[in-house]
Structure 1
Amino acid sequence: MSRFFLEPENRSTVRAAERTPLSSTAKMSVNISSPAPAPTRPLRLKRLELDDPQDYTEALKCKRPRLSLPPSSPGLAPCLRPLSHSPGPVGSNHHCVSCIGPYVFLEPTEGTETYRAIHRVTEQEYTCKVFSMRRYQELIAPYARLLPHDNICRIAEVVTGERSVYVFFQRNYGDMHSYVRTCKRLQEEEAVRLFGQMAAAVAHCHEHGVVLRDLKLRKFVFVDKQRTKLVLQNLEDSCLLHGDDDSLTDKHGCPAYVGPEILNSLHSYSGKAADVWSLGVVLYTMLVGRYPFQDVEPAALFSKIRRGAFTVPESLSVQAKSLVCCMLRKAPSERLEASELLFHPWLNCSNNTTPNTHLNPRNCTDQVVPSYTEDTGF
């Protein structure tokens, strides 16, 4: 992957463009130039069109943008330090600009704080996350902790406003949860190539003291149109370890992916082992087309997870069954570590050459992965 960081056209000041928010059908080639306002006229900002009417608040009385220095960022890599310019007044929880620096915002992608954005010079598309000024350094700390890795998303640029920080990532072409739902299940040849990238990303995080906690299919997204290259995204809710002790006490995660020790433990549990359990759920779902533990009632679902009993279809290869069972062991100490997964025979078969190889069409079954409404956290 090429590694680059974008620089804005003008570091000294950023004008908040007086434009109507673009729709999702906007073309990639955009022209956002507009005449500079008269010195005596106040600038106005127009609000992005959000999906949920409840997200709207009364219009803010926007004043002329003023330059403000960003908070100091000791210890952060240069690409993670925010640029020192302000886009104008922005609410702490609601995004209300349609343009910032060289970027034009399109429609929100997830909720109200993640947007598609286009760089007006290069016309490349990005994903932008809007964080509060107060918490952004805490939220992007996992990105600063990790060394670059091909299967972990990277921050392209950070732009700071008066109350919010805009963090830009490379665009993606859909997530693994949606992909598995569309395909029903994956053939093992393809699953080997994709899961190998997932395991490598998690192993890299664990090696550098980052426990993911809320690990699931949706956290892996494709960065190519052919859907052969995956990266791990959304590290904001990860936990940074200090030293070798990975003991955690909080019960954070998605019900379908949570390990039995989290449900049973009254004290601490191994965060890394819990991530490996979640990876086992990920692989099982990719190969079978459904979760290993599922029920419409949360209490019944948690009861099944506590027992740790699940069935593996006979159609899977012996090596695939072995890897699934090595991760979905009820006792955390008996599970393979993330780095050990990479040496399993199923991931080192002769067909596992490169993740960019085009694959043969897959056979689909009538098994389905639950919709996003069923894939929620605690």
Structure 2
Amino acid sequence: MSVNISSPAPAPTRPLRLKRLELDDPQDDTEALKCKRPRLSLPPSSPGLAPCLRPLSHSPDSDQHCVSCIGPYVLLEPTEGTETYRAFHRVTEQEYICKVFSMRRYQEFTAPYVRLLPHDNICRIAEVITGEQSVFVFFQRNYGDMHSYVRTCKRLQEEEAVLLFRQMAVAVTHCHKHGVVLRDLKLRKFVFVDQQRTKLVLQNLEDSCLLHGDDDSLTDKHGCPAYVGPEILNSHHSYSGKAADVWSLGVVLYTMLVGRYPFQDVEPAALFSKIRRGTFTVPESLSVRAKSLVCCMLRKAPLERLEASELLLHPWLNCSNNTTPPNMHLNPRNCTDQVVPNYTEDTKDTGCF
């Protein structure tokens, strides 16, 4: 549910009540104390604000932007559409990301987090505050996503790519081990949680599917065009959700190392045709081990791909001598029509299903 913080609306007639949901397994004493903080008693919301939101102050340009608060957090400008906001804690002054959901969507959103055990490479919910109609979920801030990072760097050297991709593979392995198929897996799903850009976490699990038992067969066709596997395009029946995730990871690794997608075209039909054929080129600039791992994931037949846990055993992820041959660097500017697109190009409606 979108949160409208500008359109006038009647003020609620009954007092506002907030309810904080305590998280399981607090990581330290500080977090434990935070969860036990007394509830805040806030005055009724001002007209035009959704429940649990009220303005902190008014300024001459308040019509353009309204700073609001929810519990101990200050909500700033939206970061992605109208349901995600920058936020900071008024006591600790730490910055967070706040996602706003309706009650129904909140239950769907949190289901994968309930299923998964805490993991260093999967984002955690810092705090949840519920209002009468909306739920406000707070996450640790991040320092940019992998898509933007690869686009800025053009491509990554193998030494750096090993350190980052290993964290991606570990996160996906953890999800698969606990019966969570990610489906819409792509570079943008991974974000940095440190300023040095060395630690990655899987940002959200909103598009994931929970499995019941060992069968990972899926029938719905869901994903981003550049990352979708050929079996999803070809099959009118079920397909392996875990194998489809591994294909998407193959696209992720290829793009990190080469600076462009293995399959790309401005026309969705042409793009899907290339993916169905499963034919792509691997630059000679990559090491033998890197080529091997990419090809082990981008195999057309799902049964021939490595599983997520097997990726971690591959020599490229377990060898410190992964170097790119000298004078063999790929210049992505020679392939301007194939470079990683910016955010608006990547999110156009070109056949996501």
TM-score, length-scaled by structure 1 = 0.72
Q: Structure 1 373/35 Cα, relative in aligned 2: closer, same or farther at 3 Å?
A: closer
Contact conserved, 2:283 with 2:330, CA < 8 A, in 1? no
**Counterpart-to-counterpart distance in 2, 1:79 and 1:372:** 31
Deviation at 1:84, TM superposition (A): 25
1:324-374 CA distances to partner (integer Å, 9 max, x unpaired)? Answer: 000000000000000000000000012699999999999999973112223
Deviation at 1:135, TM superposition (A): 2.2
1:362 equivalent in structure 2: 333
Give the unaligned 5+ runs of structure 2: none
Deviation at 1:321, TM superposition (A): 0.1
Mapping of residues 243-258 of structure 1, within 5 Å? 243-258=213-228
**Counterpart-to-counterpart distance in 2, 1:244 and 1:41:** 48
Contact conserved, 2:76 with 2:87, CA < 8 A, in 1? yes
Q: Structure 1 300/105 Cα, relative in aligned 2: closer, same or farther at 3 Å?
A: same
**Counterpart-to-counterpart distance in 1, 2:163 and 2:47:** 38
**Counterpart-to-counterpart distance in 1, 2:48 and 2:206:** 18
Q: Structure 1 106/56 Cα, relative in aligned 2: closer, same or farther at 3 Å?
A: farther
2:142 equivalent in structure 1: 172
Please list every run of at least 4 consecutive aligned residues from structure 1 whose deviation after the TM superposition is greater than 2 angstroms: 28-89, 93-97, 350-368, 373-378
Contact conserved, 1:273 with 1:333, CA < 8 A, in 2? yes
Contact conserved, 2:219 with 2:238, CA < 8 A, in 1? yes
How many residue pairs were aligned? 348
Deviation at 1:187, TM superposition (A): 0.2
Q: Structure 1 207/108 Cα, relative in aligned 2: closer, same or farther at 3 Å?
A: same
Mapping of residues 1-378 of structure 1, within 5 Å? 98-350=68-320, 368-374=339-345, 378=353
Greater percentage in helix: 2
Q: Structure 1 296/37 Cα, relative in aligned 2: closer, same or farther at 3 Å?
A: closer
1:192-221 CA distances to partner (integer Å, 9 max, x unpaired)? Answer: 000000000000000000000000000000
Contact conserved, 1:172 with 1:224, CA < 8 A, in 2? yes
Give the unaligned 5+ runs of structure 1: 1-27
Contact conserved, 1:130 with 1:167, CA < 8 A, in 2? yes
Q: Structure 1 77/94 Cα, relative in aligned 2: closer, same or farther at 3 Å?
A: closer
Report which stretch shifted further, 147-156 or 134-143. 134-143
Deviation at 1:260, TM superposition (A): 0.1
Contact conserved, 1:215 with 1:279, CA < 8 A, in 2? yes
**Counterpart-to-counterpart distance in 2, 1:129 and 1:222:** 18
TM-score, length-scaled by structure 2 = 0.77
Deviation at 1:68, TM superposition (A): 12
Q: Structure 1 127/211 Cα, relative in aligned 2: closer, same or farther at 3 Å?
A: same
Q: Structure 1 194/78 Cα, relative in aligned 2: closer, same or farther at 3 Å?
A: farther
**Counterpart-to-counterpart distance in 1, 2:140 and 2:11:** 36
Contact conserved, 1:94 with 1:113, CA < 8 A, in 2? no
Aligned-residue CA RMSD (Å): 11.6
1:22-81 CA distances to partner (integer Å, 9 max, x unpaired)? Answer: xxxxxx999999999999999999999999999999999999999999999999999999
The percentage of counterpart residues that share the same residue type is 92
Contact conserved, 2:45 with 2:52, CA < 8 A, in 1? no
1:292-312 CA distances to partner (integer Å, 9 max, x unpaired)? Answer: 000000000000000000000
